[in-house]
Amino acid sequence: MEEQAIHSGQTPKFRVNRLMGSDVTAAFRDGWRDFRRYPAIGLFFGTIYALGGLFIAVVLVHYHLPWMIIPVAIGFPLIGPFVAVGLYDVSRRHYRGEDVRWSAVLTEVFRQRERQLSWMAFVVLFIFWIWIYQVRLLMALFLGFRIPASLDAFAHLLISTPHGLLFLVVGTVVGAVLATILFTATVISMPLLLDYDVDFVTAMLTSMRTVLENPLPMLSFGAAVATLAILALVPGFLGLLVVLPVAGHATWHLYRRAISKI
């Protein structure tokens, strides 16, 4: 596939390739390989992501909202695709045989604020806020004003009362739906917008078409990334130092296998 960006006025068209389970495995393998090649850059972006999560948790505790840490932590991986833009660029440069320099990667990341990726950032953050507000709504519906002030007491409420368990079930279903929608719209569109000069609507439609035409491998990839991200949150967000760069690089390699420019 020709990887060079298109700067003409004509919008490029893309063909969705048929994916197999082996493509998902290969994407993770290549993602791990890229992380090992450029660990400093990967850890840099992973650190930013992890520190962002820790900062949010500290703010919630400071404002006596520890019960929001769990839903925020669960929803936090939703913004991972936007943070991983620099990692897509690293994999892209290596694939093209270009020099992977800090200055070039960071310049490309900052340049995206003037391109269509800024609109995708709005979409990602909008869905993240929908997740947060629907959690608050579900808390009001199922838990009312009985929400404890401490994280331990809140966790005990969730697992020891019928209302808490029902909140967990409904919240999990709603969260899974939102995560699937966001994954479908962004998994291909983010690296595509970095690679080509297309509008964000075209990128999202291409991403959705890719998932719809390859539901099993694409959703398997999304489930694997989500599982790794949630597990990475357990040791105080520190697991994201490795999970984010590996998943970011893997997403680029899956994108490269998934579509071809016509």
- Within 13 A of 81's CA, how many CA atoms are on the CB side? 32
Q: Kindly state whether residue 6 falls inside one of the protein's structural domains.
A: no
Question: Could you tell me how far CA 240 lies from the centroid of its own chain?
Answer: 12
> Residue 108 sits in which domain range?
14-261
> What CA–CA distances, in Å, run from 25 to 40, 57, 247, 254?
24, 33, 12, 9
Q: Tokens at residue 210, please?
A: 């890719």
CA-angle at 216, arms to 210 and 219, nearest 5°? 70
Q: Kindly state whether residue 170 falls inside one of the protein's structural domains.
A: yes
Q: Kindly state whether residue 7 falls inside one of the protein's structural domains.
A: no
Q: Kindly state whether residue 4 falls inside one of the protein's structural domains.
A: no
Rounded CA separation 100/220 (Å): 30
If one counts the domains in the chain, the total is 1
pLDDT value of position 146: 67
Helix (H) or strand (E) holding 33: helix 21-37
pLDDT value of position 142: 85
pLDDT value of position 250: 96
pLDDT value of position 71: 72
Rounded CA separation 243/253 (Å): 15
Q: Kindly state whether residue 3 falls inside one of the protein's structural domains.
A: no
pTM: 0.84
Whose CA is closest to 46, among 252, 249, 243?
243
CB 187 within 8 A of CB 221: yes
pLDDT value of position 1: 43
CB 214 within 8 A of CB 19: yes
Q: Kindly state whether residue 190 falls inside one of the protein's structural domains.
A: yes
Widest CA span of the chain, in angstroms?
60
Q: Kindly state whether residue 5 falls inside one of the protein's structural domains.
A: no
Q: Kindly state whether residue 189 falls inside one of the protein's structural domains.
A: yes
Q: Tokens at residue 63, please?
A: 């404002």
Average pLDDT for consecutive 10-residue bins of the chain (262 residues)?
Answer: 47 90 96 96 90 82 73 69 86 91 87 77 81 84 74 79 87 85 90 89 94 96 90 81 93 95 84
CB 42 within 8 A of CB 35: yes
pLDDT value of position 209: 96
